[in-house]
Amino acid sequence: MPWSDGLPGGGPAERTYEEAVAAWSACWQGADVPRMVANLRDCRILDPTAPQAPLTETRAGVIRQAWICSPWTVFGPYGFSEASKIRAFWPRLSSKGGAVASAAVLGLARPDRCLQVRNFLFSTPIHPIQLNGTELALQMQALAEASGIPVLCRGLAHSWREAEIHDAQARGLIAIPNRVVWLYDAAQAAFLERHNTRMDLALARRTGPLRLCEPAAVEPWVWERLAELYAQLYLQKHNRLNPAYTAAFMKAAALTGLLEFLVFPSPRGQGLEAFVGLFSGAQQSTCPLVGVDIQQQKPAGLYRKCCALCFGLAAARAHRLNFSSGAGQFKRLRGGVPSVEYALLALPQASRLKRKFWATLSQGVERWVVPMLLKEGV
């Protein structure tokens, strides 16, 4: 049987950060990127064995591509889209105006062509537990000088990576806030005692999630269904600038062990109605894939079950769980702790004016946008 019990307590063996990188390299070895992520047409994968791996390069011209492409997509189109979710009128208007202005100036600076280090092509990457901010900064600066283009490193949550961010800044890197993420630390697993979390876990247990344990034995329709459920939630409901993972990616990620797939079968006995794809390594977890059939009468219940499964697995494995951004009030009620996520940027022989621009952008986002995002729970 390709499926086993998906309740917290089981699952694959713990792996190191290096083993997670190796699984990623196996998944993407020789792959055609647009075939795996439909809206990543101008991204190529570089040496998977480099110290900064996964290492990717985005070529110029990334309009309407996934926001994980480059600084331009992060702080321009995606920033505008996320600002639209702020409920209060004037904060929403000012944030959208700032995103439009940033996109215009960034377009002139042409930061759409860049290198990204530790870029797993997920919205929320992981980093080594013992990350050295000074060493990371030196590696990024060397890459920037050798390539002549900006080098980006995303996914550093301030609550967990404050010292590393400061060390990188001391070495001349620019730290730019780019969103608010929600963190769950199993070492302080009070989130499991929250009323909402307990109710959601009970709901998940009653409906019996399944873990995909033999991906080579499943039928092709499964991969198509996973891609469809993901697209319904992440692309149709939330944001079309999210990565558009395809059925080919779902299959490759499962076969190489890059992601752990857990599904909720349809109660009618045919098909799947929800799933999560967990990415883990070095006592950390993220959930880059969640799929829900939003055409169901109660899609919110499906989403609750998916989230509860992630919380329960993180606690059972003593992991830190970075549960990405969005649905802030939902995550707050389940014990999530908000944290500003930073991207580090190294510039090649940057002029004083260009560096001043990036520093001003960072300060503006920190001062004006982040408080609104925290308040609104975006």
Whether pLDDT at 122 is above 90: yes
Q: What integer pLDDT is reported at residue 159 of this predicted model?
A: 92
The average confidence (pLDDT) of the chain is 84
The tens digit of pLDDT for each residue in 185-233 reads 987 767 888 999 999 999 988 888 999 999 999 999 999 999 999 999 9
Q: Which domain holds residue 84?
A: 17-179+341-376
Cβ atoms of 306 and 143 within 8 Å: the answer is: no
Average pLDDT for 246-270: 92
Same domain for 51 and 115: yes
Confidence of residue 327 (pLDDT cuts 50, 70, 90): confident
Higher pLDDT, 148 or 11: 148
Residues paired with residue 320 on neighbouring β-strands, in sequence order: 185, 284
Same domain for 309 and 165: no
Same domain for 311 and 218: yes
Same domain for 215 and 148: no
Same domain for 353 and 217: no
Where are the extended beta strands (E) located within the chain?
3-5, 43-45, 56-58, 114-116, 151-157, 174-185, 210-212, 260-265, 272-281, 284-292, 320-322, 337-346
Structural domain count of the chain: 2
Highest mean pLDDT among 11-15, 244-248, 368-372: 244-248
Assign residue 252 the CATH number of its domain.
Answer: 3.40.630.30
What three-state secondary structure class fits 183?
strand
Q: Are strands 114-116 and 56-58 parallel, antiparallel or unpaired?
A: antiparallel
Same domain for 168 and 21: yes
Same domain for 134 and 56: yes
Which tokens in the block code for residue 56? Answer: 């990717």
C-alpha distance from residue 8 to each of 11, 188, 192, 232, 309 (Å):
8, 17, 12, 26, 7
Q: What integer pLDDT is reported at residue 334 of this predicted model?
A: 93
Same domain for 208 and 159: no
Which tokens in the block code for residue 147? Answer: 């390539």
Residues of the chain above pLDDT 90, percent:
48
Cβ atoms of 29 and 53 within 8 Å: the answer is: no
Average pLDDT for 322-349: 90
Burial of residue 13 (number of CB atoms within 10 Å: 0-12, 13-18, 19+) = exposed
Same domain for 370 and 285: no
Q: What integer pLDDT is reported at residue 325 of this predicted model?
A: 87
Same domain for 299 and 226: yes
Taking the model in full, what pTM does it have?
A: 0.89
Same domain for 247 and 318: yes
Same domain for 26 and 175: yes
The tens digit of pLDDT for each residue in 339-374 reads 999 999 998 876 667 777 778 878 877 887 777 767
Which of 51-60, 82-91, 264-273 has the weakest average pLDDT? 82-91
